[in-house]
Structure formats: structure tokens, C-alpha cells
Amino acid sequence: MPSLGATFGRGAATTAQWDLANAQCVVIMGSNMAENHPIAFRFVMQAKLRGATIIHADPRFTRTSALADIYAPVRAGSDVAFLGGLIRHVLSSERWNSDPFFRTFVRHYTNAPLIVSPQFHTAAEGDGLFSGWQPEQHAYSESSWQYEAPTASAPLDESMQHPRCVLQILKRQYAEYTPEMVERVTGCPRATFLKVAEALLNNAGRDRTGVWCYAVGWTHHTTGVQMIRAAAILQSLLGNVGRPGAGVLALRGHSSIQGSTDIPTLYNLLPGYLPQPSALKSHRTLVDYIDTERVPTGWWHNFPRYAVSLLRAWYGEAATPENDRGYSWLPKIMGDHSQQPMMLAIRNGTIRGLIVIGQNPVVGGHNTHLIRKALPNLEWIVVRETFESETASSWYRSPEVLAGELAPQAIKTEIFMLPASLPGEKEGTFTNTQRLVQWHDKVVEPPGACRSDLWFTFHLGRRLKALYADSTDPKDAPIQNLTWDYPTEGPTAEPSADAILKEINGYTWLDRQQVASFAALKDDGSTACGCWIYSGVYPRDGQNLSRARVPDGPQGPGTHLGWGFAWPGNRRILYNRASADPQGQPWSEAKRYVWWDDATRQWVGHDAIDFVKDKPPDARPADESHRTGMDALSGDAPFIMMADGRINLFAPSGLKDGPLPTHYEPIESPVRNPLHAQQDNPAAKKWPRDDNTYHAVGDPRYPYVITTYRLTEHHAGGIPTRCVPTLAELQPEGFCEIAPELAAELGIANRDWVVISTARGSIETRALVTERMRPLEIAGRCVHVVGVPWHFGWEGYATGDIANTLSAIVGDPNTTIHEGKAFTCALRRGRLQRPERTPTDEDGA
Amino acid sequence: MNHDPAIPDVLPDENAVLIALRDQAEQALQRARAPLPEHAGTSIDAAEQALVRLRDALIERYRIAPELRARLDQVNVAISLVVGIETPITARQRQRLESALSVIGERRGETT
């Protein structure tokens, strides 16, 4: 979530699900929360029972819409236009301009008063391009996005009237996002849009707060990061950050996906959001790496402590000052090694082997026809699964095999299918949406040869270490020097998850004492820590706080500090210093949360304090010569991860597609961008090739917008649920949803077979004709949206064609996340011509 | 998998194979340096594929001729440089193609 990181300082949800109940307004956009996050949705319903206004904006009318007070239909991919319209409405409203609360919050806690370089111009002023676009580099230069002076001494205009202050820039950027333009771009009727805008304004202020919830309906776009940014800007303008019933709740796509970015499966991060060293940056030595990545002011000034402690945890005694703490053993990235380019590298033959854990790329990847044609280039694939997945059986059961495009006899790839254990068969932790780390015990032993992912990784590591033990090749030093000494238990030698969590928490190197928090970590090698943000989860021997299960009672306060451990430092609402005014007092009794207690000279409240606990509100930065780290921030600067302690309404750095969100059409769109000449995100990642072609704007062969989504009954790539009879019975086969108007136009009846096609491939499925899909009037023409759940494949009891056969490999410039939520397609009644072919013994089936 | 019609799939003998594959990789990299914009992705893929063919042939030989290790390492460096290139090609990305060419050409005087 680089958007939340670039805006507030941390790439994570700012609040917890149960805090939704404290909101007076809940907006859900980019999510079908009632169906896909039903447990969290309980708290939305609690808020509604207490009188909150619930708003759902989505291309489909879903169960979430049915339970909302306001449903706003929006075309898939037009979210920034909708959000930009809300920003404009707020900034130009009488309420926002007359209630001192808003201006106080914005003036003190955001960068609204800071003055930006005279070289900067907005996308509105540049016909869709911000200043700094370098077409020959296919990238922005950030130099014109900077403040007039370096952050620590940047000039401020407290009146926020200077034409180049951030607030005035915001006004210029969104001036054209009028309700009429919002209607023209998104298809949302003007009256509905205004109803949403007024609900937001009426439920913000000293006594009232609103919260936004989003999920992958925002992230799965080439503008996904900027969609989230737009909501974060809006929330900041409304004073809805760091306060109860406020913030931005990132509803994650899977259990523990938050954990998988904290202790990352991402190619470009080390644990705790430390950047992965890169061969393309000044990262040659540890000193270079630290000098490049350390921020002089704010909390990130502590960067060296976390990096050195990580190296100590990983390389132990072998990490010495003489060898740069083993820094050279860390792999350096050479570019984008994320999943989509990885699949192209497999197609090109570059990658020779693939280990698949908790993934089913043949279903969940994009342009999966290309993926299925790519996999036979591998020498080997290891699939760790509970059932045989499409990724494991593609070589003999894929549509390409059935069509004769691939011959199983000619595929040399060796598939290793390793049975994996289920959550109840292993112990460990989940880190969910609200950054909450919760331990789960093993309930039963895994059957037969099933093993945990931990077991697999640990024993693979042990074997690799044994294999390279006698090597004299310096390339093998990273494996030789890795500490890999976790204790094991039981007949299968299961590694101790408890011991690993203790390492993640951190400990003193010499006497092996757990550290109480990340504040105890050092940059001299005297501490080891596997992930600094988790430090505090296991503060002393025998005290695993992720096991804690003490909820607050009915008397409150409802932050549940005794339940699990939320990183960082068990803080439930991030940036909670902002729940008090600049003088340290609650904005109102109704929203009292954290405040300065003059008697004890410290911050107190209902949560763990996300601030320097004894720094008074009137503290001012040290004189310029000592202005480093937290000493550079004043006592009224709640956003401690930012260099100046303020929210970045305007992001002078950190985002590849602009300092502010602006509307771009999806890469494939039926219409020209009604706002600017620049059609789509200029920095989007594209891989045009014969097997991954994109549709031109308004291509008459592909006139419909298509969006993919999930169902309550199935999980992601489908293997955990399609193979379960009771779940399969509830949603037994694939389908697509189309509006009655489109069905009438194409002569399609409910349950008819239809064929959906793109330049990447075609699928057949059943039509569900439903008023949940509504034709939208976009830029003067009627646009239909086709909805397709993407869980299905040929394995299991619930089957169907793979929706991601249709999507393209294309990515957001900041994250390389695909655009499965908005592209274009053709639709017709009928079926695909497919030869019937049953796998034979000769195929090895 | 051969997207480049200029590169034959069948080559005469083993040593000649490596030399030919190296030459083909060089040629593919040279073509990728100055592509027409609409063909940029395809020519980089072709260069990557040519390097991969050279790498795979070297891996086969390396198992019986460990002295090829340095050569194999260099080809892997060139592959790393090319794999990370994104399209459309920018000046900085083009520099990576130049570096890959230079790495491949470094040991031109030696047998493969």
C-alpha cells in the first residue's frame, strides 16, 4: 500500500474493524464488504444501528449496496473522478470553509500550508500530465514537485492563501471535477453524487467522524495507488485520521496478506518495509544503502537500527563490522521481479524452476492463456497445496491441451506435488487487515505426508545448507552464513513457530534477552530483530502477546489492547496523536481518544500512544544544527513516520505517477478520457507483445467494460473452496452477470451459455441476467458492464472457465498490480467450439 | 519459443553451437538497442530468449567443463540486465542493453 505510506507514513490500515462501529458515516468503495469481509461488516451494521449513514459506491449492486443507505453506481475504473469530485465539493463547501475545525486540522496536521516549487503545474494545468514528465524516460522527474526549500525549513503560509501552497494546488487540480463532470465520467447520477458528498460533510467535524473501507476493487487498477491516495486526501481534509470512527481501512484480499507485506513475499521489500537493496540504486555497501534510504528527520531516522538488527538476526556471528554486517549477501534487485514480469520471464525461458506456495497462478494470474503456454518452459514446478490445483494439472488438463495447442507428451516439466497442511494442522500467526498479529495453535496433526509451509521452508533451507557446506565459492556465502538453527519438535521435526516469532520480535545478541520494543534496537550489532515493526509482540520469555485473548468488556474502552498484538507497539488506531487538537486536548468529548495529561506530563488515553509519549504538545524542534530524527518534529506533528510529521496531501516524492491523483481511463476503455488529452496512466507498466495485446480505445470489437470479482463461498484461486463439497454446492459453477438491457440487445436469456472474448482469449460461461448490473451513461453513450467471478477453474467440484484468461498483463506503475477490475471485452450468446478429449494414461494422468 | 527468425534452431557442432549462440545473442541485443517503438517489447524478448539459449547451452557444457563458469556468470549478468528492462525503452534502459552487450563481448577472444 504505497499510497497510505506516501500519505500518512505507514503502508497499512489506519484503524481496526471494530472501530467502524464508532463512525457516523461509513463509505465502502472498491469492495463488496458484506460478501467478502462479512465478519468486519458486522461493525458496519453496528454503526448503522447507532444511526450512521452507510454508503456503497460500486459498479454492481451487491448485498453491500442492499444494506447501505446510499448506493452510488460508478463505472469500474472511474473512481478517481468520483473521489476528485468529492475533494472539490468539500473544498468549495460553506461548511468546510466556515467550521474552524477543518482548517485547524488541515493547517497543523497536513502539508496544506507548505509552498511548492514555482516549476510545478497540476495535471489539470497540463492536460493530464503533471510537470516533470519526461517522455524519453517514460517517467516523471520529481524535481518540480519539491517544496520551495528542504523539508525541515520549507516555507509555510499559515493562511493557506499562497497560490503555490498545497491547499491552493489541490483546489486547482480538482476545480474541473464538478458534479456534472463526475456524472459524465463515472455514470453516477449528479443527485446521488451530491447526496454522498453532503453525507460526508455532515458527518465530519469535532463531534463526528467518517471512515472509508476499500479492498482490491481499488488496488486492481493501473491507477489503484492513486485511488487510495484520493480517499486518504479526502479523509485528511475532513479531519478523519487518527481519530475514533475515522481513517482508511484497507480490507485485505486474504487472511494474513497484511503479514505478507510486513514480512514480505514482495520482491522489493525486506521485513518491516526496509527496501530490498537494488543494483540500480546507490546501494553498493551498507553505508551507501543507509545513506540513501535513511530519512534525516522523523522516525525513519532510526532506519540503521532496524537494518543492522535484521542482518544480525539473519547472519548471526558471521555479520561483522569488517564484512559490512553481511550486507553483500543480500540479493540485489535489477528491476521489476514481481509476478507479472516473472510469468513473462518464464515464457521467455529465463526462469527454469518455480515453487508455488499458497498460489494458483493458472487461475489467479493474468492473461492465464499466456501463463499456461509459459509453464511448459520450466524444468520443474513444486506445488504445495491441499488439493491438486490447476497450476499442477495444467500440463495435462488445460484448455490448451484439450485444444491440441499443447501436447502432454511433449512437456518435459517435472511437477512435484507436495501435500500441504491446513491452518488447523499447524501453529503460527495471522496478521490481518488491522495489523493484528494473532497466534493460532495446532488442533490436529496433519494427515500422511502433509507438512506446514514452515516445515517445507525450514527443511529445504537445511538441505541447501548441507549441500553448500563445503563450497569455497563466494556465491554460496549467503546460504552458508544464514542462521538456520530453529529448534524442532515432534516426529516430523516441525520447526518451532514460537522460536521464530521470538526472533522476529528481536533480542539482545550477547545474552539472548528479548527486547521490549523496537526502541531497544541498536545499530551496532548488539541486537538482532527479524522485523522491527513486530518488535514488542514477544517482549520477554514466556510472554507471546499474539496469544493474548482479553477483550474489553461492555464498559469499554473498546480498543481491546489485551487481544493479540497490533503493530507497531500494539497501537490500534495509527497516528492517534491527531485525535487531540494541536494543544493536546480532545477535539470533543464524543471523540476523546488520546490526550496530553499535564499532571503526569505524558500522553494518555484508550490506546497505545502513537507518538513520543512524553513530548508535550508545545514542544518545538531543536535548533537547526540538531534537527534530526524525532527532535526535528514538534509536539503537534502526529505523523511521525513522515519527515515533517505532516500528512502528505501532496506527495513530493514516492509515487511514480504524480504527486496528486488525477483521472485516467483504464488501459482498455470504451471511451476517450473526458477530462484530459492524456488517455491513461502515462507511467503504467505495459508489456505489449503478440501474446499480450491491448485493445485500442473504443475498439468496436470489444465494446463492453468487464470487471472481475470474488464470491463469499470461494477463496481466491479457488482451491481451498472449490474442492470442498459443501461450499461447491453453494456456488457450483462459473457465471457472468449482465444487465437485462444488454441481454435483450444480444438475445441472451438467463442461464444461456455465452462467450466472453478479449484479444488474449475467450471463455464460455452461463449468463446471469440481473438488474444488479446497470447500464451507465458515460460521455454521452451507453456503456454496459459485464461482471465475472474469477475463482473458477477445472479442478474440484465447482468448476468453470478461468476468467483471467481474458485479462492482460499490465500494471500500476508503483506496485505492478494488474488491472483485473476494468478492461474491455466482447460478449455473444453461444458456446466455444472445443474438442472433447479425456486425459489418458499416456499423458501421465 | 524462437521469436527471432534470424536465429536458426539447429546448429552444427557443440563448440560451434556456443559461438553461434553468442553471436546470435549479440545480434539480438544490437537489434533491441534501436527498435521501432511498437516493436520494442518484441525485440527485447528476442534478445532475452537468445541469451537464455546461450545460457542453457553453457549450463550443459559447464557440467563437464567447469572452466566455463566465468563465461556462464557473465551471461547470467547479461540476462539480469535485460530481464529488468521495461518498455517503452528509455535512455536508462537502453544503457542496460549496452552493458549487456559489453558483458557478452568481454571474452570474445576466448573460446566461447
- A493-519: per-residue pLDDT in tens? 999 999 999 999 999 999 999 999 999
CB contact under 8 A, A349 and B81: no
CB contact under 8 A, A335 and B85: yes
For residue A440, pLDDT beyond 50: yes
CB contact under 8 A, A345 and B42: no
CB contact under 8 A, A690 and B42: yes
When CB atoms are compared, the residue of A139, A350, A688 closest to B83 is A350
Closest CA to A417 of A389, A394, A396: A389
For residue A173, pLDDT beyond 70: yes
CB contact under 8 A, B87 and A686: yes
Q: Please, what is the angle between helix A79-92 and helix A224-237, to 10°? A: 20
For residue B112, pLDDT beyond 50: no
- B29-57: per-residue pLDDT in tens? 998 887 665 566 778 899 999 999 999 99
Binned at pLDDT 50, 70 and 90, residue B1 comes out as very low
- A604-617: per-residue pLDDT in tens? 999 999 999 999 99
Q: What is the DSSP secondary-structure string of A780-793?
A: TEEE-EEEEE----
- Find the residue in A nearest to B92 (Cα): A137
Calculate the average pLDDT of chain A: 95
Closest CA to A432 of A537, A561, A567: A567
- A364-388: per-residue pLDDT in tens? 999 999 999 999 999 999 999 999 9
- A695-751: per-residue pLDDT in tens? 999 999 999 999 999 999 999 999 999 999 999 999 999 999 999 999 999 999 999
Average pLDDT of the residues in A21-30: 98
Closest CA to A60 of A805, A768, A642: A768
For residue A841, pLDDT beyond 70: no
The C-alpha cell of A444 is what? 490436529
Binned at pLDDT 50, 70 and 90, residue A2 comes out as confident
- Find the residue in A nearest to B79 (Cα): A350
CB contact under 8 A, B83 and A345: yes
Distance from CA of B88 to the nearest CA of A (A): 7
- Give percent of chain A above pLDDT 90: 93
Report the pLDDT value the prediction gives residue A54, as an integer from 0 to 100: 98
For residue B86, pLDDT beyond 60: yes
Report the pLDDT value the prediction gives residue A713, as an integer from 0 to 100: 95
Average pLDDT of the residues in A322-342: 95
> E strands of A717-809, at which residues?
735-738, 753-757, 762-769, 776-778, 781-783, 785-789
- Find the residue in B nearest to A335 (Cα): B84
- A569-587: per-residue pLDDT in tens? 999 999 999 999 999 999 9
CA A631 remoteness from chain centre: 31
CB atoms within 10 A of CB A41: 25
CB contact under 8 A, A348 and B81: no
Binned at pLDDT 50, 70 and 90, residue A114 comes out as very high
Hey, what amino acid is at A545? L
Residues 26-45 of B with CB under 8 A from A: 38, 41-42, 45
| Set of chain A residues whose Cβ sits within 8 Å of the Cβ of B86 | 138, 335-336, 685
Distance from CA of A760 to the nearest CA of B (A): 16
Binned at pLDDT 50, 70 and 90, residue B6 comes out as very low
Cell numbers 516555507: residue:
A155
- First vs last Cα of chain B: how many Å apart? 23
Query: Per mean pLDDT, which range of A372-381, A799-808, B56-65 is the poorest?
Result: B56-65
Average pLDDT of the residues in A775-784: 91
